Structure 1
């Protein structure tokens, strides 16, 4: 399974926005700069996160984005579903019912075993993402990150947050 780069960008942006002081925002252009991404590409994902209720978009000269919820209330699954949508990664097309050896549809009374296995794997993957909160990701990063990276991130947030 391959998730889009938008998922990675969305999680990274959410972790950076979690560092803002209360009621402050950060412009999309600063988020794009920090992560080395195209502003137009990132803006699409930020709008999606805002529509999902993960981020809040604040208009005006001091506007930008901020978390709409506490980092404890946002799971990685919330972000993945906002960006990728709710459909499972594997979608069974019932190809077992095609080709020269295919039988009539009523011969396939049992669910496809491949589909069942893939759906079990999807459930396990989603359960793990559901357990992992944004605050967990931040705490793990802060515990093991190079102090220079932490200092740079803090200074960047301080310079770019808006009242």
Structure 2
């Protein structure tokens, strides 16, 4: 199974956002620069994470992105499904019922064994992703990564975070988004 680069960028972004304090945000441009990816490409994915309720978008000079819920409540599966969609990776189109070896429909009354095996694998894959939270990823990184990588990540977050701002959902009446 191949996941898009957007999944990787989204998981890294969400994990870094988990290190921010209450109300702090980080601009998308900081992530785009850090990962050397197009800001518009990253913004497309961050907007999907906002629409899925994983992130909040904050407007204004102190704006950026922050987690919409605790890192313990966001799983890898949440991020993958937001970016890649909820459809299974394998979608059986019943090709066994086409071509020169096609038989009458009643021959295919039982489910396709290939489809059944692929869906079983998909369930296992999704269950494994659902068991791992963003908080788990952040904790494992802090405990197991090279200390230079941890220090660099902490410095990046400290340099790029913005102080508390109000989300679009919590702005005062009459205030521009």
> What TM-score comes out, normalization by structure 1 length?
0.97
In the alignment, the residues of structure 1 paired with residue 124 and residue 159 of structure 2 have an alpha-carbon distance, to the nearest angstrom, of: 40
1:100-139 alignment runs, 5 A limit: 100-139=100-139
| Structure 2 SS opposite 1:49 | helix
Alignment partner, residue 11 of structure 1? 11
Runs of 4+ residues over 4 Å off in structure 1: none
- How many positions carry a matched residue from both structures? 163
Deviations 1:26-85 (A, max 9, x none): 000011112222111111100010100001000111100001111100000000000000
1:20 aligns with 2:20: yes
Alignment partner, residue 148 of structure 2? 148
Alignment partner, residue 55 of structure 1? 55
1:34 aligns with 2:34: yes
> What TM-score comes out, normalization by structure 2 length?
0.89
Structure 2 residues not aligned, in runs of 5+: 164-177
Alignment partner, residue 94 of structure 1? 94
What value does the CA root-mean-square deviation take over the aligned residues? 0.9
Structure 1 residues not aligned, in runs of 5+: none
